[in-house]
Structure 1
Amino acid sequence: WILREHYENFRAAYPGITLKMATASTEELFRMLNQNETDLVYTLDHHVYNSDYIIGAEERIQAHFVAAPGFLPFSSLTVPVRELITFPFLLTEKGMSYRRLMDEHLARFSLEVRPVLEFGSADLLCTLVTQGAGVSFLPDYVTEAALKSGRLVRLSVPEFKPELWRQLLYHKDKWVSPAMQTVIEYFSGLSPAHTDASDHMLL
């Protein structure tokens, strides 16, 4: 979403700053941050509490189970989790970001989901769900447009309320150059209105 929605404006405002972005797992990103191989880390995950890192920006993100209207044979959009997981699921890869949060939360009830499709692009998963391919668990900013157009509905699962945060972090011992400070200030003012496969990013 950073590149698709905001890069043109950033480049126009700061033509002298060069960005290099890459994606990786949370563990790999923080390894690189600790070894000074990257300047900033952007995560969409559990809230990170660690005195070694300074939070440049953070925001709590909502996520819901979603399906196409009429896909589930229930008149109510409130669905017990034990019934919901019997339906076909389309999810991001196991161990990544909000998928991991979902799996961990389900494990508290001794439950698990075995998806019929695992794929890295949240956009594509959202599209497939609107076509009636199954159920998914996605951040609200991914599904907002489809929800407003009536192609998706959000499901209420009373037992299920995981917390998801977006955070921009850097190491406390990192020298913050003027260019890095500019990037922090610019991107800390943005909220994700669109996403791609990347839930974890380094800059």
Structure 2
Amino acid sequence: MELRELKSFLKIMELESFSRAAKELGYSQSALSVQIHSLENELGVRLFDRLGKQVTLTPPGRQLARRVLPILQEVEELENVMHNRPPAEALRIGMIESLCKAHMPQVMDYVCRNLPQLHITITIDSPSVLLDALNHNKVDLVYVLDKPLYDGKWEKVFQKQENIVFVCSVDSPLAREKDLKLDQVIRQPFFLTEKADNYRLSLDQQLAARQLALNPILEVSDTGFILDMVQRGLGLSFLPQYVVENSPYRDRLQILQVKDFHMHMYRQLFYHKDKWLTQAMKVFLRLALRENPPDKGERTPDFSWNREKDSCTDKGSMI
């Protein structure tokens, strides 16, 4: 079994394509096919199902992937030591826009002070797009707000309930109201996120079930811009409570208590079960767990942080 065959196997798994993997690795497609055929003959199993242009792992292929990832990680670390090269430290995170604005500043404060060699790439998109990217190894971690999500391929680090709230300026007459009702609130001008955003979509669905609707003044994905408009007294919005509480305008904003309407979703952090947990991933998971202790009974990696060595070990605990 050759390392180049194993690396080729993982690249095909990542890209789900022999032709794209061959191009990225610098092989001809026939040469790559020979490598995989040789590996399959040696192991006595079929590693990929090939249905037209679609390439998927077989059960033995998934088992091999789980075992190969840590082996190749060790090989890479050994090569770095032998060649006296610093290990590559990179982290790819998929997030929704509101979580990025609310939580990444604290993470970056720690990283810049303690791990300046770490390079972080953040992809902002919808939960469905980000989780598809996780399945195809295009991101290492996914941090989203949605209904509870589950897939056997993912490890969920934590799940925390978040209120989605109506918000106005402190100068709005509604800010002093104690017994607000939904139909009274939605008569106001609104600045909302785009219809594709999951909490906006859920709002529209719940309003439609009551034969109500909202026609906002403006729809935009930038929650910071929305709250700027709200604090100026130009209208209301409907956003996750953590967005309001982390806004620089929070002293100018008022969360409304609407007695006949309540909605919540869940912040969730995932990585792929077949993904080797890199040092950079462990750092981010540890920082996230400090801020988001798991619910009682929720299984999550328990990372023991060593500040002197900038290292982290996974104890695998039940909290």
Asked if these proteins are the same fold (TM beyond 0.5), I'd say yes
Whether 1:122 aligns to 2:212 is: no
Larger relative helix fraction: 2
Determine if contact 2:164/2:238 at 8 Å carries over to the other structure: yes
1:114-153 aligned at under 5 Å gives the runs: 114-144=215-245, 149=251, 151-153=252-254
Shift of 1:186: 2.0
RMSD (Å), alpha carbons? 2.4
Identity of aligned residues (%): 30
Whether 1:54 aligns to 2:121 is: no
Distance 2:218 2:112 in 1: 37
Shift of 1:100: 2.3
Determine if contact 2:228/2:249 at 8 Å carries over to the other structure: no
Whether 1:45 aligns to 2:140 is: no
- State the AA in 1 paired with 2:196: G
Shift of 1:94: 1.1
TM-score (norm 1): 0.81
Deviations 1:13-36 (A, max 9, x none): 223432111111122111111112
Aligned length: 190
Select the residue among 285, 303, 306 that pairs with 1:184.
Answer: 285
Select the residue among 125, 130, 140 that pairs with 1:29.
Answer: 130
1:56-135 aligned at under 5 Å gives the runs: 56-72=157-173, 76-135=177-236
* Aligned position for 2:75: none
- State the AA in 1 paired with 2:187: T
Over 4 Å off, 4+ runs: 72-75, 145-148
* Aligned position for 1:161: 262
Compared CA separation, residues 89 and 166, structure 1 to 2 (3 A): same
Deviations 1:139-194 (A, max 9, x none): 22222367863x22222222322122211111222222233222222233236xxx
Shift of 1:76: 2.3
* Aligned position for 1:13: 114
Distance 1:68 1:112 in 2: 22
Q: Which stretch shows the higher mean deviation, 44-53 or 118-127? A: 44-53
Distance 2:236 2:270 in 1: 32
Compared CA separation, residues 66 and 15, structure 1 to 2 (3 A): same
Compared CA separation, residues 3 and 73, structure 1 to 2 (3 A): closer
- State the AA in 2 paired with 1:155: L
* Aligned position for 1:196: none
- State the AA in 2 paired with 1:154: I
Whether 1:4 aligns to 2:105 is: yes
Distance 1:177 1:186 in 2: 14
SS of the residue 1:62 aligns to: strand
Shift of 1:48: 1.6
TM-score (norm 2): 0.54
Q: Which residues of structure 1 form unaligned runs of 5+?
A: 192-203
- State the AA in 2 paired with 1:13: N
- State the AA in 1 paired with 2:132: R
Compared CA separation, residues 58 and 109, structure 1 to 2 (3 A): same
- State the AA in 2 paired with 1:177: T
Deviations 1:64-87 (A, max 9, x none): 101124534696233221222121
Distance 2:116 2:253 in 1: 40
* Aligned position for 2:6: none
Distance 2:176 2:281 in 1: 51
